[in-house]
A and B are shown apart, each in its own frame.
Chain A
Amino acid sequence: MTKETDQLQRRKARFVRGLANSAETMLAGLEENPELPEGMHYFIDIMRDIFVKDQEEHFSNPFCRQDANNRKIIGTYCLMVPEELIYAAGAIPVRLCGGSYEASSIGDEFVPRDTCPVVKASIGFTSLNLISLYQKCDVVIIPTTCDAKRKMGEELSKFTEVWMLEVPHVKESEGSRRQWLEQLYALKKNIEKLTGGRFVCGKIRRRELDSAIKMVGRAQYEARRLYEIRKSFPPVIPGREAMLAINAYSYDTAFEWAKAMTGLNDELEDRRDKGRVVAGSHAPRILLAGSPSIFPNWKIPSLLEEMGAVIVVDESCMGSRYLYDPVGITEKSMTDMMVGIAARYLMPCVCPSFAPNEDRLFRLLQMIEEFNVDGIIYHVLKGCIVYDFELIRVEKIMKEKNIPVLRIETDYSPEDIEQLRTRIEAFVEMLETKKKKIKEG
């Protein structure tokens, strides 16, 4: 072994250890909660398999299990890649948006300094193979959403096969909707080619697509049930647990995930009916808006909930929005299913890379009402221009509703934790006093 590769290996090992440690700390922290629902263990274990045990114990990782079946694995970014098409072709989708500090510091070497940490981490994971998942993907599909993701596609193509999926940015116009549908037909062809299905097996057929839509739909139904449960007052599940459960969908198959989620939801509904709550009615109810928190970057959720607030809802593409909007079809023709899929992945999506994006404001207002939100933490990952841009509008409408908004700009590094703690503490205290005042008079 040359000196250089030796060094590289050692460097990689250091990062892998760092990642495993920080992930394990988060997971162990969640497990310390004596009130942790039984159903949560499944999701915590998925995360542990992926991030902690990955290097040692290959067979616990769900994707290693899948390997045995010789199914293709397709990596996806953002949430505009139609999983239904992937499942229908007999492949497995896995969402790769990265949330690791260690990976993001590796990614630093490949991209400009002001790139957002999601992209840095994703590149870091792929370039050094910190976890085996990234290497296992036969191909990676990247939608052209924000600038960072778009350019990331180019950089990633140095390491792996990349397909770009062109997402129109002005979604209302009929032309862009038609173009999007055509993109999906093209994607369908490509997936079929990959799964070797130009002839019989692997070709996306009506029946398979229909059952894929139902399978993902089932997962969405459960995700919506969790969403409903989080509305309860006082809350029955801390936000960071609910967010982790949803985040775990990235690394699981829709079928297995839905099964586990059904169990968790049943348990939580039972707790709700019995009045077993996780915080009192005085605890401030927070809407976590803005850039996504992706495991193991559980910085903001942990800080917030340590301070006594509860994240009752979030709007991120890794959280509540991930599985919220279902595919609606009325007949089993290929046309109707493709139209339904195209609609689901474009129209209701309120990713800030779209403009105009008024819909997002409507969604936030609806959340404020439905979830009894007391305040908003507006998370801006450093370099995430699109979310930061929309802050102005969000602040404006929330002022009318008298809902305080706190903007927090940060990345994945642990350096600013103490400073953030002080700011969040002050915000939570302010909300508590406000709540008390309203109650008293």
Chain B
Amino acid sequence: MTVTKLRWTILIVSFFVLLMGGWIGINLGGFLPTYACPYVGGSRGGVCFLFRLQYLLGNGSPEAFIGLGKHILYFSLLVIIIGKAWCGWICPLGFFQDVLDLIRRKLHMGYIRFPERLRANLGCIKWIFFFIALLIPLWVAHPIFAPAVARDFSQPYCQLCPGKHILPLLLGDTNDVTVNFKSVTTIVMSMLGLIFSVSLIVGAFLKRRFWCSYCPMGLLLSWYRKISFIKLKKDCQKCTMCEACYNVCPLEIEQVFKERENEDVTFPDCTLCLRCVEYCPEDGALRATFLGKTIYRSTSKGFFARQRIIPLVPDD
């Protein structure tokens, strides 16, 4: 089985487990480092970390404070084990984007690539989302000003998150795809949420893994990359700077091919999808390691097989 096929299989299984597992009694906990969105209702098989994080921050009681500590601890353990592979291999919203991408590819349409400058500038969006998820709940808990407005700001990031609209919609639930007319705040927030969701759908169709560059969950996960067990490594001497790994990367990470000194090339945006390893034409130039042990490495043969130039051997 190729890595791509394995990844698709795991993505599909995760999609069903996280969004429909509840029907068969699966509950993986409330601290999952992925978009296991509770808004899908009773069928959920686990709950997104950000949901409870905002809830606990917004609660303000001492118990919630202790709960917060535990919440972050469990989350961290999960992230340390497989790092951002949560994004490349598990996230339901990531899967949805990959499906849109697949449709685009089948239609033989090209993709859009942002210039590096623009990419760098847009990078701040995920920080904005992150601070919305972090600071607004605190304000809700301690409404030192405008308490009437604060009331409507519970779960602020969730109100904006495309997951909230798209994932339930995928299960046929349209209840979240509306504007909430309760107050001015809710109108604005739900409208923004709808706008983000539509941009995600259009964006992911034109640009590979469009949303992942702006996702605050991805940002949180990227902080663990130095200590997580899975890493992407490069042998700089073997690399020919052929740029293949950049062109195939859904996150358009340029640094992997430009790196000339360090072995560790797990950059913040990297979802560990391992496409770069699959498509690198040099033996052992790129590899993925788990606790320092190589679990997958690039090969010249594998490259030519994937280009359909020689037959694919079953074992890679």
A residues contacting B by CB (< 8 A) are 172, 174, 178, 206, 213-214, 217-218, 221, 224, 324-336, 339-340, 343-344, 347-348, 358-359, 362-363, 365-366, 369
B residues contacting A by CB (< 8 A) are 105, 108-111, 115-116, 236-244, 246-248, 257-258, 260, 275, 279, 281, 300, 303-304, 307-310
Quick one: given A343-B242, A347-B243, are A333 and B110 in contact (CB under 8 Å)?
yes
> Which chain A residue lies CB-closest to B110?
A335
Quick one: given A217-B309, A359-B240, A366-B237, are A328 and B247 in contact (CB under 8 Å)?
yes
Contact call A217/B281, Cβ cutoff below 8 A: no
B243 CB contact (under 8 Å) in A335, A343, A362, A365 = A343
Cα-based distance from A45 to B248 in the complex (angstroms): 41
> Which chain A residue lies CB-closest to B238?
A366
> Which chain A residue lies CB-closest to B112?
A335
Contacts of B303 in A (CB 8 A): 326, 328
Contacts of B247 in A (CB 8 A): 328-330, 336, 339-340, 343
Cα-based distance from A178 to B254 in the complex (angstroms): 14
Contacts of A347 in B (CB 8 A): 241-243, 257
Contacts of A340 in B (CB 8 A): 244, 247
Contacts of B244 in A (CB 8 A): 328, 340, 343
Contacts of A358 in B (CB 8 A): 260
> Which chain B residue lies CB-closest to A339?
B247
Cα-based distance from A343 to B247 in the complex (angstroms): 9
Cα-based distance from A250 to B19 in the complex (angstroms): 58
The 13 sampled A-B contact pairs (Cβ below 8 Å) are A172-B258, A214-B308, A217-B307, A325-B240, A326-B303, A328-B281, A333-B105, A333-B110, A333-B111, A334-B110, A336-B110, A336-B247, A347-B242
Quick one: given A206-B108, A224-B300, are A329 and B307 in contact (CB under 8 Å)?
yes
Contact call B240/A348, Cβ cutoff below 8 A: yes
Classify the interface of chain B: helix, strand, loop or mixed.
loop
Contacts of B248 in A (CB 8 A): 328, 330
> Which chain B residue lies CB-closest to A224?
B300
Between B105, B240, B279, B304, the greatest number of chain A beta carbons within 10 A of the residue's beta carbon is seen for B240
Contacts of B241 in A (CB 8 A): 347-348, 359
Classify the interface of chain A: helix, strand, loop or mixed.
helix
Min CB distance B123 to A, Å, is 16
Quick one: given A347-B243, A348-B242, A359-B240, are A326 and B307 in contact (CB under 8 Å)?
yes
Cα-based distance from A343 to B245 in the complex (angstroms): 11
Given A331-B108, A359-B240, 10 further pairs, Cβ under 8 A: A174-B115, A178-B115, A328-B279, A328-B281, A328-B307, A330-B279, A333-B109, A347-B257, A348-B242, A366-B238
Cα-based distance from A79 to B110 in the complex (angstroms): 27
Cα-based distance from A359 to B236 in the complex (angstroms): 10
Cα-based distance from A408 to B121 in the complex (angstroms): 51
Contact call B243/A348, Cβ cutoff below 8 A: yes
Contact call B242/A325, Cβ cutoff below 8 A: yes
Cα-based distance from A347 to B281 in the complex (angstroms): 14
A221 CB contact (under 8 Å) in B115, B238, B310 = B310
Cα-based distance from A178 to B118 in the complex (angstroms): 15
> Which chain B residue lies CB-closest to A342?
B243
Min CB distance B313 to A, Å, is 14
Contact call A335/B279, Cβ cutoff below 8 A: no
Cα-based distance from A204 to B304 in the complex (angstroms): 23
Contacts of A339 in B (CB 8 A): 247
Contacts of B257 in A (CB 8 A): 347
Min CB distance B156 to A, Å, is 36
Contact call A333/B108, Cβ cutoff below 8 A: yes
